[in-house]
Chain A
Amino acid sequence: MITRWLPLIVFGAIAVLLGVGVVMNAGRTQVEIQSPLVGRPAPDFALPDFAKPSQIVRQSDLRGQPYLLNVWASWCASCRIEHPVITDLALSGRITVIGYNYKDERAAAERWLRQLGNPYHRILVDESGRSAIEWGIYGTPETFLVDAEGIVRWKHVGPISPATVERELLPLLDAIGAGR
């Protein structure tokens, strides 16, 4: 009797297994790679300050308060889309937002900031993209949350939406005690 039902049972088991896989992947971007950096210290870097290129900013200079590192470039279309969200975050005063100008030309970056406004507390310039590899950056925009001890707490690949801020970032800011 059981042998008669066996094929159906096996089929059902496989269907359930595949179904679980589909549900687990729903709504997740395949492009996003889980960063091994989350939970680990932010990488060291020494990059020029956009406002004053002769001044070199290091990882240790940023320690002591949490910050959001937002990777952008003037050639990046999605950065335009998330720009208002980043601006709102910066204006809310809950978190210091640091810009990371990736593989860009200075003149183009200046034009972009003039056009859209500059939401950043300060901007690091990585013209060659060499330091970006230490952060595991592979495109723009990408955003990291680093806490006061210099530990990476969160990474987001692609433009940040208001929903992402609400659902993921704000609870994390509460957790690390950023602002208020």
Chain B
Amino acid sequence: MSATPLRRRHGLLALVLLVFAGLAQAIMPKEFESPEEAERYRKLSHEIRCVMCQNQSLADSPAGIADDLRYQLLARMREGYTDEQIRDWFVARYGEFVLYRPRLNPSTWALWFGPFVLLALGTWGLVAVVRRQRALPPARPESDPEES
């Protein structure tokens, strides 16, 4: 009597695991030649955006196009491309947008240096306000506490 629900639960678990196994396989289908290659692949596939889903990296996306691009990534690695050449290869086809870490060039200066400019402006403003406060005579009227 008790064996049936348990078996049913096992069946359900197996089904769930099977679904995830399919997903895992879609994302990591590669046979690596060495641990170094696996590590480099892992690093690069996290740096490149899936062009279809856009908020996922190549490594995380189960989309069909991501699978194609992961295959291309490994192919470029095996052809002896450097990391920078691989990034260039993707940028030439899909634009700067594919890089999760935008590169430093005139169109991204505001992105890279903007925060520092804002920080400097904020600090300058803060210092100016504090200085002015200090230069001012004490705001509290001196006779008040005694008289009330």
The answer to whether B11 has its CB under 8 Å from any CB of chain A is: no
CB < 8 Å: which of A3, A36, A138, A139 contacts B91?
A36
Task: Give the contact stretch, choosing among B34-42, B79-87, B93-101, B137-145.
Answer: B93-101
The answer to whether A35 has its CB under 8 Å from any CB of chain B is: yes
The answer to whether B54 has its CB under 8 Å from any CB of chain A is: yes
A133 touching B52 by the CB < 8 A rule? Answer: no
Q: If the complex has contacts A130-B68, A138-B65, are A36 and B51 also in contact, measured as CB distance less than 8 A? A: no
The answer to whether A163 has its CB under 8 Å from any CB of chain B is: no
Q: B interface vs A, CB < 8 Å?
A: 51-52, 54, 64-65, 68-69, 72, 91-97, 129, 132
* In the bound complex, CA of A37 to CA of B51 (Å): 15
- Which residues from chain A contact B51 at a C-beta distance below 8 Å? 33, 136, 138
What is the size, in residues, of chain A's interface with B at 8 Å between Cβ atoms?
Answer: 17
B97 touching A134 by the CB < 8 A rule? Answer: no
Main secondary structure of the interface of B (DSSP, over half): helix
- Which residues from chain A contact B129 at a C-beta distance below 8 Å? 3
The answer to whether A23 has its CB under 8 Å from any CB of chain B is: no
- Write out, one digit per residue, whether chain A residues 127-160 have a CB within 8 A of any chain B CB (1) or not (0): 0011001111011000000000000000000000
For chain A residues 9-36, which have a beta carbon within 8 Å of chain B?
A: 30-31, 33-36
Distance in angstroms from B49 CB to nearest chain A CB is 9
* In the bound complex, CA of A35 to CA of B91 (Å): 10
* In the bound complex, CA of A138 to CA of B72 (Å): 14
CB < 8 Å: which of A36, A135, A139 contacts B65?
A139
Q: If the complex has contacts A129-B68, A133-B72, A138-B65, are A34 and B95 also in contact, measured as CB distance less than 8 A? A: yes
* In the bound complex, CA of A3 to CA of B136 (Å): 14
Distance in angstroms from B6 CB to nearest chain A CB is 41
B97 touching A33 by the CB < 8 A rule? Answer: yes
- Which residues from chain B contact A37 at a C-beta distance below 8 Å? 93
- Which residues from chain B contact A138 at a C-beta distance below 8 Å? 51-52, 65, 94
Report the nearest A residue to B49, measured CB to CB. A33
CB < 8 Å: which of A34, A36, A129 contacts B92?
A36
Report the nearest B residue to A33, measured CB to CB. B97
Distance in angstroms from B111 CB to nearest chain A CB is 14
- Which residues from chain A contact B54 at a C-beta distance below 8 Å? 30-31
- Which residues from chain A contact B52 at a C-beta distance below 8 Å? 138-139
* In the bound complex, CA of A169 to CA of B95 (Å): 22
Distance in angstroms from A91 CB to nearest chain B CB is 32
Beyond contacts A33-B94, A36-B95, A138-B52: 16 other A-B pairs, Cβ-Cβ < 8 A, are A3-B129, A3-B132, A30-B54, A35-B95, A36-B91, A36-B93, A36-B94, A36-B96, A129-B65, A133-B68, A133-B69, A133-B93, A135-B93, A136-B93, A138-B51, A138-B65
* In the bound complex, CA of A139 to CA of B51 (Å): 9
